[in-house]
Amino acid sequence: MSGTKVVATARYRGMGASLDDQRKLEIIDELVGIMGGVDRTIITQNLSGLTFAPAPCTPEQIQYHFAAAMGGPTTGAADGAGTDKVYTNTMPTTANATLASYTLETGDDKEAEYATYGVCKQIVLEGKAGESVKMSATWLARGVTFLSGGFTSVALPAVSELPTSNGKFYLDAIGGTIGTTQITNQILGFKITYDFMVIPKPTMDGSLDWSFAVLTDYKVTGEVTFENDTAVLRSAGAKADFVSQTAKLMQIKLLGGSVTTPGTTYSQKQVLINAPIKWLDPPPLSDLNGNDTVVMKFQSRYNSTAGNAGSVIVVNELASLT
């Protein structure tokens, strides 16, 4: 049941900080003849937050964020007879999502704390050629509680990183097939931000903890750093698509190591970012080590021609998120 404390079954291999106690404190002012007032206060709502600082993105752990942000799957689909498992996170369009929620444990060697009903409200993926792809996220949860007995003993999970330079970038016509036309030797990096309007709902239910959380909307934005070459030029590239407001199908394919037994569709661990996009205002030329570059910003929304709002596909070898 959402909001019920459960024993930890997984460890996050990244730079998660400690829980941030965000209880709502109401300071009550009154005129009772005492200078400076009386220390009359009340806690009106139990809240907390947790920020996961940028760390190498891994197919084994990024799925926790998507499951807690948009109700992505917590069980992988089989890929034929392969050992790989496929988690397909489809951006919601007409139906709302049921979010997965988690118990969060943080702290240090002096004290451990926990919060229940952890859900995710922002995910950021960023890659720079020559570095690993980084993931970060922001979560919210119910109030922070002392964790008696300390942390649950959980083994470190095996994870695999995604070098940005192993990735591939595709742009196709909005009515075409995504992942067909690769842009080669021109993409220097990318950043994509998923903002989820996950709203905690306090109700008159006998508790200061909020009762449930709902996803009311989301926003997908990002940027791509181009070498100032054919794919971005005003004559026939991304700048021209901005002028004509031509939508494109974008795929960012982030590739990791091979799976033990290749499946029908996939042979490598990976994260596939699929999005119908439109480019936003093109900036002046930038400079990178004396070389001209262009950082093009974009927005992704539902496109009627494509018939979808995009997806994020995660391929790993985990049967489920435990």
Neighbour-count burial of 157, counting CB atoms closer than 10 A to its CB (0-12 exposed, 13-18 middle, 19+ buried): middle
- Rounded CA-CA distance 309/322 in Å is 28
| Cα–Cα distance measured from residue 160 to residue 258, given in angstroms and rounded to the nearest whole number | 10
**Which one-letter DSSP state was computed for residue 166?**
G
**Residues sharing a CB contact under 8 Å with residue 233, sequence separation 6 or more, in sequence order:** 239, 240
pLDDT in tens for each of the 322 residues of the chain?
A: 567 889 888 999 988 779 999 999 999 999 999 998 999 999 999 999 999 999 999 999 999 999 999 999 999 999 999 999 999 999 999 988 889 999 999 998 889 999 999 999 999 999 999 999 999 999 999 999 999 988 888 899 999 999 999 999 999 999 999 999 999 999 999 999 999 999 999 999 999 999 999 999 999 999 999 999 999 999 999 999 999 999 999 999 999 999 999 999 999 999 999 999 999 989 999 988 888 999 999 999 999 999 999 999 999 999 999 7
